[in-house]
Structure 1
Amino acid sequence: MHVFVTGASGWIGSATVDDLLAAGHSVTGLARSDASAAALETKGVAVLRGDLDDLDAIRRGATGAEGVLHLANKHDWANAAATNASERAAVETIGEALVGTDRPFVVASGVAGLAQGRPANEGDANPFVGPDSMRGGSENRAFDFVDQGVRSIAARFSPTTHGTGDHGFIALIVAAARAAGVSGYIGEGTNRWAAVHVSDAARMVRLGLEQAPAGARLHAVAETGIPTRAIAEAIGDALGLPVTSIDPADAVDHFGFIGQFFGMEMSATSDETRKLLDWEPTGPGLLEDIAAGAYTAAHVA
């Protein structure tokens, strides 16, 4: 299959491209910079220059592919409205390009906010609808195209897709610990985060592209829920720092914007995904990764 991938040089996208190539697929990757283009070309990936605001380029990439993985996001936390608008426009552009083709269209999403008082599961509908909602309501917008002959699939990622080289949420929490001289958790630290190793997430995305039916909700979750206090303790052990509770009122001051999320319950299961795709995570767990130095090696910011 020839696959068009947005976010092809990103953290999850890069691992997914490697998995696609290893499985015999060919890839065209969207690249906004010379460095990204060079990294993709080195792997044997065809490069389409553009970014998430270049809808003409995105349309060309989708039209010329047999399947699409939309993994890019601006992640501009200072301008959520612009990020959401860009995400929605990209999803609409890809969906419109694939109408009537029955081709797979995998859209990156997340498990946050799907359930209250229990781990989220694949049966939970995404509550974010409309352009002003989280991610511009992109998961539900993609599913709008199912009735128009598009095999839309949601790939819901854990709040941490971890591994050596990750620059996401856990890396930011580690950076906050270094800056403050203490490894913090919020409140009692009993809220839990789901987790998955990046290699397992990449394989799940590829299997979903190949096998999942239209309207499927896939959970890239290996560990249902790790208490955030345990995460802070693992970071403290790895950095040789004391561990302490941070008052919720001080969370953003201590952690930066990630303090808005570190106190949230974001646990989830993946039982249905495992059955559907015959997918079984094999990578290291989050605490194991932290202990092994994935976030404390010299090259990690």
Structure 2
Amino acid sequence: MKVFLTNATGYVGGAIARRLIHKGHRVVALLRTPQKADAMRALGIESLLGTLDETDKLAQAAATADAVIHTAYDYSGKTFADNVAKDRAVIAAFVGALAGTNKPLLVTSGSGMLGDTGSEPVSEEFPTDPLQPQDLLVRSLSERDTLRAAQRGVRSVLLRLPLYVYGNGGSTFIPAQLADAKQRGAAYRIGAGDNKLSAVHVEDLAELAMEKAPAGSLFNAANEHGITGRSIVDAVAQNLGVPARQVTAEEADAQEILPAWFRHWVFGNNQIDSKKAERLLGWTPAQRPGMVQDIASGSYKQ
């Protein structure tokens, strides 16, 4: 199967690309610069030079593929709404190219827009928090566009990721927390850090067998739950050999300890379960060290 993939050089996209190649698929990756083409070629991945702004080129690539996987997201706009508008234009280009073919279109999203999910992991039916900042709510439009593509004969699938995708020394939030703690000589948490979060190992995420997913379906992808903000900060402290300290939100603002939007996520409750993916797709994550252990003494220590 020929798969067109956005952001193959990214953390999640890269893991998916490697897994597709391992399964014997042909992968064509969208690249912004030719300098990355050699590295992709060494992995057996073909390249298409272009950007997310070139929707005609994206549509042409999608039309010649057997499946499209969209993991890229451009944060360069002046506002979050600009970023969402670009993402929706990309999705529209893919849907237009794939309409009536029943070919798969997989789009990744995140659980951040759900806001505070409470003390227990929630299913795909959990509503978006109307009190969330408007920019997060706007991103839900990309999710809606993806799911509605099923009405146009596209086997569209939305994969919602937890805030923490970890493993192989990568991720978004973990390196930022490590860098902040290293710079300050201490790892900080906001309040007691009793909030609970979900996570998934990037290789388990890449293993999801989306070939089986029905059109217009949404799946959560998280298999580790109950991770507290405090345990993450303690693991960061152990990794670096620095103390873990508690501050108030006001103190964090005054000392510029991590951006406010960052703290809003990692020190709030945000958990999603993956029972639907396990039941309908047969997703069985591997037995791996948990995220806290991986931060403290695993791939992030190495």
Q: 1:22 to 1:86 in 2, by over 3 A?
A: same
Q: 1:75 to 1:250 in 2, by over 3 A?
A: farther
1:175 aligned onto 2:179? yes
Tell whether the 8 Å contact from 2:197 to 2:228 is kept in structure 1 after alignment: yes
Alignment length, in residue pairs? 293
1:104-183 equivalence runs, <5 A: 104-114=104-114, 116-117=117-118, 118-124=120-126, 133-135=137-139, 137-183=141-187
1:287 aligned onto 2:287? no
1:1-301 equivalence runs, <5 A: 1-76=1-76, 79-114=79-114, 116-117=117-118, 118-124=120-126, 133-135=137-139, 137-204=141-208, 207-208=209-210, 210-251=211-252, 253-256=256-259, 257-282=261-286, 283-297=288-302
Q: CA deviation at 1:13?
A: 0.7
Q: Distance in 2 between matches of 1:4 and 1:131?
A: 28
Q: CA deviation at 1:242?
A: 0.9
Deviation readout 1:242-268 (Å, 9 max, x if unpaired):
111231234452013522322221111
Q: Distance in 2 between matches of 1:176 and 1:220?
A: 28
Detail structure 1 runs of 4+ shifted over 6 Å in the superposition. none
Q: Distance in 2 between matches of 1:111 and 1:16?
A: 19
Q: Distance in 2 between matches of 1:76 and 1:294?
A: 30
Q: CA deviation at 1:101?
A: 0.7
Tell whether the 8 Å contact from 2:7 to 2:72 is kept in structure 1 after alignment: yes
SS, match of residue 189 in structure 2 = strand
Deviation readout 1:47-101 (Å, 9 max, x if unpaired):
1111111212211111111111000012449742332222111111111111111
Deviation readout 1:212-262 (Å, 9 max, x if unpaired):
001221122120230010100111111111111231234452013522322
Q: 1:250 to 1:39 in 2, by over 3 A?
A: farther
Q: Which runs of 5+ in 2 are unaligned?
A: none
Identity of matched residues, %: 33
Q: Which runs of 5+ in 1 are unaligned?
A: none
Q: 1:186 to 1:10 in 2, by over 3 A?
A: same
Q: 1:247 to 1:202 in 2, by over 3 A?
A: same
Q: CA deviation at 1:39?
A: 1.9
Q: CA deviation at 1:285?
A: 1.6
Q: CA deviation at 1:125?
A: 5.2
Q: CA deviation at 1:184?
A: 1.3
SS, match of residue 27 in structure 1 = strand
Tell whether the 8 Å contact from 1:111 to 1:120 is kept in structure 2 after alignment: no
Q: CA deviation at 1:127?
A: 6.5
Q: CA deviation at 1:113?
A: 3.3
Q: Distance in 1 between matches of 2:22 and 2:160?
A: 23
Q: Distance in 1 between matches of 2:76 and 2:299?
A: 25
Q: Distance in 1 between matches of 2:201 and 2:241?
A: 24
Give the TM-score, by structure 2 length: 0.90
Q: 1:244 to 1:260 in 2, by over 3 A?
A: same
Q: Distance in 2 between matches of 1:17 and 1:166?
A: 16
Give the TM-score, by structure 1 length: 0.90
SS, match of residue 24 in structure 1 = coil
Answer with 99-108 or 77-86: which moved more.
77-86
Q: Distance in 2 between matches of 1:188 and 1:22?
A: 43
Q: CA RMSD in A?
A: 2.2
Q: Distance in 1 between matches of 2:41 and 2:68?
A: 19
